[in-house]
A and B are shown apart, each in its own frame.
Chain A
Amino acid sequence: MSSVCLSVCVLSSSGSKVLVHFVNQSGVKSSVFVTEGETLLDVVIKKNLDISGFGACEGTLACSTCHLIFEESVYDKLEPMVDEEVDMLDLAYGLTKTSRLGCQVTVERWMDGMTVHVPQEIKDQRGKQEAVRSK
């Protein structure tokens, strides 16, 4: 409901429009035009994207729930991480070599067309693993 209204309103703002594709925990892709200068956390919240539990600490580097996985070519061009981001990222579920926290990544024009995704849900498998590990 609200994301359609948002897309229309945002066209009139002065920031450059960058196309970003988000893939959520169930593999569902959402493609959105975002404004340069916003963080990816801002984008998920403003566009009301269906990513469960994203941004619990509201961008204060106190959790790892805005964890996003980038394409390698994009990851390599991102600003380096400060210690505090690495500290939190190290606790993230499904950490990869091209993982970052969304609240620390600001949208820039060159990111146009990039795809970011969150770790995929492992439904039964994780349940079974938990059951085995806890015995």
Chain B
Amino acid sequence: IWGSHICRVRGLSSSSGPRVCIVGGGPAGFYTAQQLLKARQDAAVDIYERLPVPFGLVRFGVAPDHPEVKNVINTFTQTAQHERCSFHGNVNVGKDVTIDELRQAYHAVVLSYGAEGNRSMGIPGEDLPGVFSAKDFVGWYNGLPSNKELHPDLSFETAVILGQGNVALDVARILLAPVEMLKETDITQNALEALAGSKVRRVLIVGRRGPLQIACTIKELREMVNLPNTRADMLPADFEGIAEALKDLPRPRKRLTELMMKAVKEGGDDKAEKCWGLRFFRSPVEVLAGADEKRAAGIRLALNKLEGSGESVRAEVTGQLEDVDCGLIISSIGYKSIPIDPAVPFDPRRAIVPNEMGRVQDTAGLYCSGWVKRGPTGVIATTMNDSFDTARVLIQDMEAGKLDLSVNKPGAQAITALLQTRGVRMVLFSQWEKINAEEEKRGKSLGKAREKLLDVDEMLCRAK
């Protein structure tokens, strides 16, 4: 495999086409690569990914019961198999190789490494057992290697989720969905077993502003409303004045709000064992420990009122507090990008790489796409359009002579050699395909779409 990779690269290095390096093998990386390969028939694109496996949040973020959303993997696979594209997994950019080394080897480098951190609530008690970030909880049921030891305790009746975006609703749905709905998906077996034995019966999804500011989209809300054996438990008081505001809303917001109001009115089957509810105008101020002081037993919420109007509605404190008993607290207030290399400018306040339309500030030849460029919001299609924009800007710069393509760059040949001297075991796309086949095989024996490998060492072993 080593030999054949070098032969293929040698073939390309006799051409003088642009060589582009992409850091990150998720949707942003793949869509940027796709557009570059299409726009320039002489471009070679190399994708470097930290994990042995590609696809980023499509694999580790999209909920197991949303397999259609993962169909994009097919188009990414085509891109990775393109003759002018190579995928290099198990390479940690910033640690195994620096951005400067990549910039020396390539005409352009695109940062597409997303947001691997999470925004903390910044409240006392946040580190108590029983409190998780949604990023970690989702990573746990989706088989992210670094979350495999999460072992969330699901023996409590009430779970509180802070945040009301699609991730929060995904978590709520996975917590309350009947096991039958999950058992044929690619959810990890240990998460499936934990959820089968779960005592969680009530999930509150808490937001600091009102119903008109809710961040989730209608599909996810509809799935909650339609969840078997659950009922909606809303506070009519939270919806005062909302009916009157409906007529002036644009269609997407109007339909979403109407669906919420329907859930308030109809509630659902009283005999349902489980319930879920949206709670508005509430911000977390403290996680309360139990009598033994050893773990979370409740959360203290501050009640807000709204000031301002339209897009700039803000929550302001009223001074009132409310305590909710709960044993599982999941903070779903946003992912967060982190700086991976001191040579790259980083804006710590916005937690993005500062850029102008994808061109990294003050750094010629360095670009960014996806969440690390715009912040961690939006669906795959948002990232797709954004990645196409960055690719177009990069192509423009090539054509305008802002990138010196007359200089021959060694590309993957140089980087691969460097990584070898550092003892880094790269995983090529054909090797991921072996891991993929193993996961599908294991899944088949369990009646599931796949059973993901949870361990990087095991992935590397399978990749041989």
Q: Does B66 contact A (CB under 8 A)?
A: yes
Q: Which of B139-183 contact A (CB under 8 A)?
A: none
CB distance from A50 to the nearest CB of B (A): 9
A96 to B280, CA, bound (A): 31
Q: Which of A72-95 contact B (CB under 8 A)?
A: 83-84, 86-88, 90-91, 93, 95
A62 to B69, CA, bound (A): 6
Q: Are B379 and A87 in contact (CB under 8 A)?
A: no
Report the nearest B residue to A97, measured CB to CB: B251
Q: Are B31 and A134 in contact (CB under 8 A)?
A: no
Q: Does B17 contact A (CB under 8 A)?
A: no
Q: Does A52 contact B (CB under 8 A)?
A: yes
- Given A56-B380, A56-B384, does the pair A88, B71 have CB atoms closer than 8 Å? no
CB distance from B248 to the nearest CB of A (A): 17
Q: Are B380 and A63 in contact (CB under 8 A)?
A: yes
Q: Are B72 and A52 in contact (CB under 8 A)?
A: no
Q: Are A64 and B222 in contact (CB under 8 A)?
A: no
Contact digits for B380-415, partner A, Cβ 8 Å, 1 yes 0 no: 110011001100100000000000000000000000
Q: Which of B21-76 contact A (CB under 8 A)?
A: 31, 35, 66, 68-69, 71-72, 74-75
Q: Does B262 contact A (CB under 8 A)?
A: no
Q: Are A63 and B255 in contact (CB under 8 A)?
A: no
List the A side residues contacting B72 at CB < 8 Å.
56-57
List the B side residues contacting A60 at CB < 8 Å.
68, 71
A130 to B31, CA, bound (A): 20
Q: Does A28 contact B (CB under 8 A)?
A: no
CB distance from A84 to the nearest CB of B (A): 8
CB distance from B246 to the nearest CB of A (A): 15
B71, B218, B384, B388: the one within 8 Å of A58 (CB):
B71
Q: Which of B231-287 contact A (CB under 8 A)?
A: 251-252, 255
A32 to B255, CA, bound (A): 36
Q: Are B69 and A63 in contact (CB under 8 A)?
A: yes
Q: Are A63 and B35 in contact (CB under 8 A)?
A: no
Report the nearest B residue to A126, measured CB to CB: B389
List the A side residues contacting B374 at CB < 8 Å.
130, 134
List the A side residues contacting B68 at CB < 8 Å.
57-58, 60-62
Q: Are B356 and A62 in contact (CB under 8 A)?
A: no
Q: Are B218 and A64 in contact (CB under 8 A)?
A: no
Q: Are B379 and A91 in contact (CB under 8 A)?
A: yes
Report the nearest A residue to B396, measured CB to CB: A123
Q: Are A90 and B388 in contact (CB under 8 A)?
A: no
A62 to B223, CA, bound (A): 13
Q: Are A52 and B381 in contact (CB under 8 A)?
A: no
List the B side residues contacting A86 at CB < 8 Å.
255
List the B side residues contacting A52 at CB < 8 Å.
35, 388
For this complex, 30 residue pairs linking A to B, each with C-beta atoms less than 8 Å apart, are A53-B381, A53-B384, A53-B385, A53-B388, A56-B71, A56-B72, A56-B384, A57-B69, A58-B71, A58-B74, A62-B71, A63-B69, A63-B379, A63-B380, A65-B384, A83-B222, A84-B219, A86-B255, A87-B222, A90-B218, A90-B251, A91-B379, A91-B381, A93-B381, A126-B389, A127-B356, A127-B357, A131-B357, A134-B350, A134-B374
